[in-house]
Amino acid sequence: MSNEDKGSAPAKPALVLTSLILVAAVANLNLAVANVALPDIGKDLDASQTGLNLVAVGFSLGLASSVLYLGALGDRYGRKMLLIIGTTVSIPAALLAGFAPSVGVLFVARVIGGLAAGMAFPTTLALITALWSGPKKTRAIALWSGIGGGISALGPLVSGALLEHFDWGSVFLVTLPLAVIALVLALKFIPSHVNETTDPVDNLGGIF
């Protein structure tokens, strides 16, 4: 089998893929951890059911409202840049959520976290597609997808385990070490520009 048949991969492929998987893990965990903590949040913050519902959907709302537009911005102007910005923003968003003094602040923190994921999450698969080729790309996507699915499934279990020993804020802080490690690896090992498109971005449509 020729080298072309085997496919190609970036320099330090294991570290690059680890970074991308960790970035995706931050988003996957954030999607899964909040619901288990809602009863504790309601008691501690004296939150109404409406407030708790907003907390439950805040991250998904931020992610769903931004992922297509921000993914297009990454494809046009730099996937690594969007990944770095999104991962960086996720850190103070997690801290704000973990130490939120009110349900309103917690909702805002979750929406900001979702917007951060909207920047970072779509670039992970886009970078895998751009940096790997052939069978190596297939294996990289399989690892990204399989580990991401596993982390999503473990999210409620992780939340439950944390709530047995710590307060509800811990479920939002659990992503911090993953985000920090991912950020360090991404800054060091992910190439700055990889096959970005020259197609124009519909900024007006993306905003509205």
Q: Tell me: pLDDT of 49 over 90.
A: yes
**Rg from Cα positions in the chain:** 18
Q: Provide the pLDDT confidence category of residue 65 given band limits of 50, 70 and 90.
A: confident
**1 contacts 134 by C-beta, under 8 angstroms:** no
Residue-wise pLDDT tens digits, 4-20? 557 788 889 999 999 99
Task: Give the residue-averaged pLDDT of 190-198.
Answer: 67
Q: Provide the pLDDT confidence category of residue 76 given band limits of 50, 70 and 90.
A: low
d(CA 120, CA 89) in angstroms, rounded, equals 10
pLDDT at 196: 54
**143 contacts 21 by C-beta, under 8 angstroms:** yes
pLDDT at 200: 53
Task: Give the residue-averaged pLDDT of 114-137.
Answer: 92
Q: How far is CA 52 from CA 86, 91, 165, in A?
A: 25, 22, 22
Give me the percent of the chain exceeding a pLDDT of 70. 87
pLDDT at 208: 46
pLDDT at 206: 46
Q: Provide the pLDDT confidence category of residue 69 given band limits of 50, 70 and 90.
A: confident
Nearest CA-CA partner of 113 in 128, 97, 102: 97
User: Mean pLDDT in the chain?
Assistant: 88
Q: Tell me: pLDDT of 88 over 80.
A: yes
Helices (H), the chain: 3-6, 13-45, 49-77, 79-98, 103-131, 134-165, 170-173, 176-189, 203-207
pLDDT at 204: 45
Q: Which two tokens stand for residue 38?
A: 């809602």
Q: Provide the pLDDT confidence category of residue 74 given band limits of 50, 70 and 90.
A: low
- Which architecture, in CATH terms, is 25-196? Up-down Bundle (1.20)
Q: Tell me: pLDDT of 205 over 60.
A: no
All structural domains of the chain with their residue ranges: 25-196
